[in-house]
Amino acid sequence: MSAKEFDNKVAIVTGAASGLGRATAFAFAAEGAQLVLADVDAAGLEATNAKVQEMGGKAIAMPTDLSDAAACSALAPKAVEAFGQLDVVCNVAGAFRFDHATAITPEIWDRIHGVNVRGPFFVIQSALPYLIERAGSVVNVASASAFLGHAYLTHYASSKAALVNLTKSLAMEYIQSPVRINAIAPGGINTAMTMGTSIPEGIDFSLVGRYSPLRGSSEPEDLTDLILMLAGPRGKSIHGACLNADRGITAG
């Protein structure tokens, strides 16, 4: 049997119940990784876990509210308890919605930023000692919205911009350690989260249309090899980067 890229490696994947998180979990499992799967959707998480087991992989499912700092901090120790080590953290979970700026409540703001920035930070914070020990890696999933002023996505775009700078700041703080910390910035992805998003009344569709990719949206599976590349030895020269994978949205 030929060796797989993540044989004898352990990865945390958040957002694993659906969409890009689920596709990422399957891609890691296919390459031999043992997985800790996290998501607030317990039923979807169990479905992902069951599929990983069918593939011959090993995984544990941890229903987790990614806006809960304590729950996020529990993931890395659980990975080490279950599998003896931790090599990769993939922060894929995200919260997304359209709102008029005047309709964003403190609760909505805190939810979006809690899942998209606060959660990833506390997952990484608790994982860093293990990742440094294993010369491991972090891959955060940001968004093309981090690089654009995006109408009706003030909360989301600002959270993803913060995640990009979180990635770069941690990369600099740990530049003298063996851990690598990077991000990707997709454009539109055909997932239930994005395709099922409701549109508020009274928005100006000419503003929303400015961000529609001329080359269409990506499928989750289009992005998993980029994530695995950054997570593993193929990405050994990349640290503190955010790689755009947005089909040209931010090109001009």
Q: Which residues are catalytic?
A: 156
Name the residue among 178, 85, 184 with its Cα closest to residue 139: 184
Beta bridge partners of 90: 13, 139
Do 50 and 22 form a contact (C-beta atoms < 8 A)?
A: no
Cα atoms in the 13 Å half-sphere on the side-chain side of 38: 28
Residues sharing a CB contact under 8 Å with residue 111, sequence separation 6 or more, in sequence order: 67, 95
Do 92 and 16 form a contact (C-beta atoms < 8 A)?
A: yes
Residue 69 phi, psi dihedral angles, 5° rounding = -60, -40
**Joined tokens for residue 64:** 């987790």
Residue 117 phi, psi dihedral angles, 5° rounding = -125, -55
**Joined tokens for residue 198:** 């409701």
